[in-house]
Amino acid sequence: MVAAEPAAAGGLLQVQLPAPRARRGNVPRPPPVHREPRPRPGDRRGRPARAPRRGPPRRLRHRPCPPAAAPRPHPGRGARRLGAGAVGRAAGDDRHQSPGAGGPDDRRGRRVIALAAPPGWRGGPGAAPLDGRLPDPPHAAGRSRPAHRREDLAAPHPQLHVAVQSLSPKGEPAVALTDEARNAIADEAWGVAEKIKPSAASLDANRAYPGDHLDALAGAGLAGLLIPPEHGGKGGELTSLALACEAVGWADGSTGLVHLLPLCGSATIGAKATPEQAEAWLVPAASGDSLATLAFSERATGAHFYMPEIKAERSDGGYVLNGKKSFVTSGGHADLYPVLVNASGGEGLDVLVIQGNDEGVSFTGAWEGIGMTGNSSIEMVLDGVQIPADRIVGAEGDGQELVFNVVAPTFLIGLAAVNVGIAQAALDDTIQHVKTRKNAGGVLAELPTVQTEIAEMTIAVEEARALVMTAARAADAGDPAALPLVMQSKIGATETAIDVTGRAMEACGGLAYSKRLDIERYWRDGRAGSVMAPTNEVLKQWVGKLQTGLPLF
Ligand SMILES: Cc1cc2nc3c(=O)[nH]c(=O)nc-3n(C[C@H](O)[C@H](O)[C@H](O)COP(=O)(O)OP(=O)(O)OC[C@H]3O[C@@H](n4cnc5c(N)ncnc54)[C@H](O)[C@@H]3O)c2cc1C
């Protein structure tokens, strides 16, 4: 029986996993893995390890993303920023107004309508206006908050910044970004998003890996979003991650997922990197010269990726790994693969960094998912892969802390935000379509049923966004309520993506079921999030247990 204490001292979540199945003594080694050399896609197969890049000029690994002829300005872009700027816009500040906006359907300048959150929700009434704008920082004067939040957040608190701390490579508290800095990141992300969106459909049709898109994001510094400035990154945290991931997900779901995994990978490494590891891995990852991902899932453990069966054997002062990791996003394209294994011979978890060109590493299969097609979530085969001891992240046994304090919040918030972006894209396209699609002498938008559909889609997207941003801010502040909020945000946003893209299908009709609109792509892309681990089924049980004080496992 295992206890879970939200935001116990030193971490967002302290969880003791159940003991893995006994593997000592007479348990045979896994059978030899079929070694199947397979050409690695693109130019990444068999290249010698590159030395970390130092100084400009930055070399893009793919052709630059061609600028869109006429990118459609995102109508809601202004609302996806933070704090005073958003309030300023509501009062008429048009610094970020998209060209051509201003018509009757312009979303900017609308009234802020704060809806009451469900009773008992720790984000609480008054804490989160469900309109996509963020609540003021906790210390903002004159802000009415429920007592339990005011008490937790008004004064310096030993648990503040635990989530930020866990993203700091030196384990020291990082300085949270100002809203101005976060807004700058959001603007950069939306700038790239508007450029890459026009090529999303052709990438999907060709099931092509979005290398150009990754380069465009790296060019804006977004490959290093979660890497500290001293290693070339932006020093971002969960709030800025949410802002950026929504923009990328809005542009292209596949790119949103493929961009998120390297952010999670670099945050995992960065949480406990030695100076040598930071120089070798984080600096090139921040510039986009190296790509990280996460190789945690295994077929045998499925949704329970935090209970890997692969056990690294100690050998020659290092480790030898045998086994298979499944669903490895950017498999064959990435350079760094943090794998979750048991390396300490005990019951703990460990994160070891495999390099794509290590002897014994190969990739099998092809990504055949119905959505997120611009991707390569394939199987990674580890056949006697020998790595030195200095490839471990942190100390032996630190894997559990990394999984629950770094990977979980980063992945859950990032994936939730990508799904808000997918849902927003479906809403935008639906609005566009129903305004022009002729119907019995008028247009679809004049039908009351369509109007209702649009209203419900809009509310769903705004609610999901508010939940994600509230969870991100709470985690960044070390709020004890952050843990269930982070879980809820992934559940809420991924279910919103399924719901809203389905409603878009209904509103746009037969054309949406064809390739003539992008709705069917959003519908396919939006289906992935709920089954990605921790799956929504599992997360709901965790949230229910946390809310009722039951042990998590
Ligand atoms: C597009 C995509 C990209 C991915 N990328 C990566 C990646 O980069 N790295 C990585 O490590 N993994 C990745 N994954 C894997 C992912 O995180 C999950 O591990 C995987 O989707 C789990 O699927 P499964 O079918 O093996 O789960 P199964 O374990 O077979 O589960 C099937 C169903 O049973 C439910 N279920 C299982 N156990 C319970 C339980 N105890 N209670 C209630 N319900 C339960 C699950 O919720 C699920 O609905 C990716 C998956 C997808 C779809």
**Which has more confidence, 169 or 212?**
212
Q: Is 294 a pocket residue for ligand 1 (Cβ < 6 Å)?
A: yes
CA of 293 to the centre of ligand 1 (A): 17
Q: Is residue 541 part of a domain?
A: yes
The CATH number of whichever domain residue 202 belongs to comes to 1.10.540.10
Which of 138-142, 370-374, 506-510 is predicted least confidently? 138-142
Residues 528 and 435 in one domain: yes
**pLDDT at residue 214 is higher than 50:** yes
The reported pLDDT for the residue numbered 396 is 93
Q: Is residue 39 part of a domain?
A: no
Tokens representing 497 are 């993506």
**Whole-angstrom distance, CA of residue 216 vs CA of residue 65:** 6
Per residue in 102-125, pLDDT (tens digit) is 333 333 333 222 222 223 322 222
The reported pLDDT for the residue numbered 155 is 28
Average the pLDDT over 65-74 and give the result. 44
Pocket test for ligand 1, best of 258, 301, 352, 535 (most atoms within 8 A of CB): 535
Average the pLDDT over 283-299 and give the result. 96
Whether the CB-CB separation of 382 and 361 falls below 8 Å is answered with yes
Residues 188 and 326 in one domain: no
The CATH number of whichever domain residue 316 belongs to comes to 2.40.110.10
Which of 129-143, 248-262, 346-360 is predicted least confidently? 129-143
Average the pLDDT over 159-163 and give the result. 33
User: Per-residue confidence at 81, pLDDT binned at 50, 70, 90?
Assistant: low
Average the pLDDT over 379-406 and give the result. 95
Which of 419-433, 442-456, 472-486, 499-513 is predicted least confidently? 472-486
The reported pLDDT for the residue numbered 519 is 98
Q: Which residues pair with 381 in a beta bridge?
A: 324, 362
Tokens representing 545 are 């247990």
Average the pLDDT over 503-521 and give the result. 96
Say which residues have a Cβ less than 8 Å from residue 29's Cβ, sequence separation at least 6. 322
**Whole-angstrom distance, CA of residue 49 vs CA of residue 548:** 50
The reported pLDDT for the residue numbered 83 is 53
Pocket test for ligand 1, best of 204, 328, 377 (most atoms within 8 A of CB): 377
Q: Is 84 a pocket residue for ligand 1 (Cβ < 6 Å)?
A: no
**Whole-angstrom distance, CA of residue 13 vs CA of residue 402:** 10
The reported pLDDT for the residue numbered 505 is 97
**Which has more confidence, 203 or 73?**
203
Structural domains counted in the chain? 3
Q: Is 254 a pocket residue for ligand 1 (Cβ < 6 Å)?
A: no
Question: Which ligand 1 atom sits closest to the C-alpha of 329?
Answer: 8
Q: Is residue 474 part of a domain?
A: yes
Q: Is residue 542 part of a domain?
A: yes
CA of 369 to the centre of ligand 1 (A): 13
Which of 35-49, 154-168, 422-436, 523-537 is predicted least confidently? 154-168
The CATH number of whichever domain residue 414 belongs to comes to 1.20.140.10
Give nearest CA residue, ligand 1 atom 39: 538
The reported pLDDT for the residue numbered 306 is 83
User: Strand pairing of 313-315 and 318-328?
Assistant: antiparallel
Question: Which ligand 1 atom sits closest to the C-alpha of 369?
Answer: 1
Average the pLDDT over 323-336 and give the result. 96
For a pLDDT cut of 90, what percent of the chain falls above it?
61
**pLDDT at residue 71 is higher than 90:** no
* Region of residue 316 (left: phi > 0; alpha: psi -120 to 50; beta: else): left
Question: Whole domain around residue 186: which residue ranges?
Answer: 179-287
**pLDDT at residue 339 is higher than 70:** yes
Q: Is residue 249 part of a domain?
A: yes
* Residue of 248, 195, 241 lying closest to 412 (CA atoms): 241
Give nearest CA residue, ligand 1 atom 25: 302
The reported pLDDT for the residue numbered 522 is 98
- Reported for 20-29, long-range contacts at CB under 8 A and 24+ positions apart, including other chains, are 20/307, 20/309, 20/342, 20/347, 21/309, 23/311, 23/342, 29/322
Residues 257 and 373 in one domain: no
Residue with tokens 């959003």: 522
Which of 119-133, 369-383, 484-498 is predicted least confidently? 119-133
Question: Which ligand 1 atom sits closest to the C-alpha of 293?
Answer: 8
Tokens representing 425 are 């894209």
Q: Which of 272, 287, 302 corresponds to the end of one domain?
A: 287
**pLDDT at residue 38 is higher than 80:** no
Q: Which of 373, 396, 419 corresponds to the end of one domain?
A: 396
Residues 500 and 392 in one domain: no
**pLDDT at residue 75 is higher than 50:** no
Residues 198 and 317 in one domain: no
CA of 327 to the centre of ligand 1 (A): 9
Residues 389 and 407 in one domain: no
Residues 324 and 368 in one domain: yes
Which of 76-90, 101-115, 444-458 is predicted least confidently? 101-115
Question: CA of 548: how far to CAs of 121, 250, 484, 498, 543, in Å?
Answer: 13, 35, 11, 28, 9
Q: Which residues pair with 5 in a beta bridge?
A: 14
The reported pLDDT for the residue numbered 168 is 41
User: Per-residue confidence at 332, pLDDT binned at 50, 70, 90?
Assistant: very high
Residues 358 and 456 in one domain: no
Q: Is residue 217 part of a domain?
A: yes
Pocket test for ligand 1, best of 291, 349, 490, 537 (most atoms within 8 A of CB): 537
Q: Is residue 216 part of a domain?
A: yes
User: Per-residue confidence at 304, pLDDT binned at 50, 70, 90?
Assistant: confident
CA of 81 to the centre of ligand 1 (A): 32
Q: Is 306 a pocket residue for ligand 1 (Cβ < 6 Å)?
A: no
Whether the CB-CB separation of 370 and 527 falls below 8 Å is answered with yes
Residues 323 and 375 in one domain: yes
Which of 29-43, 114-128, 178-192, 300-314 is predicted least confidently? 114-128
Coil, strand or helix: which one is 434? helix
Q: Is 538 a pocket residue for ligand 1 (Cβ < 6 Å)?
A: yes
Residues 438 and 390 in one domain: no
CA of 13 to the centre of ligand 1 (A): 21
Residues 280 and 382 in one domain: no
**pLDDT at residue 370 is higher than 90:** yes
For a pLDDT cut of 70, what percent of the chain falls above it?
68
Residues 541 and 462 in one domain: yes
Q: Which of 254, 287, 320 corresponds to the end of one domain?
A: 287
**pLDDT at residue 300 is higher than 70:** yes
CA of 529 to the centre of ligand 1 (A): 10
Q: Is residue 418 part of a domain?
A: yes
CA of 328 to the centre of ligand 1 (A): 12
C-alpha distance across the termini of the chain, in Å:
6
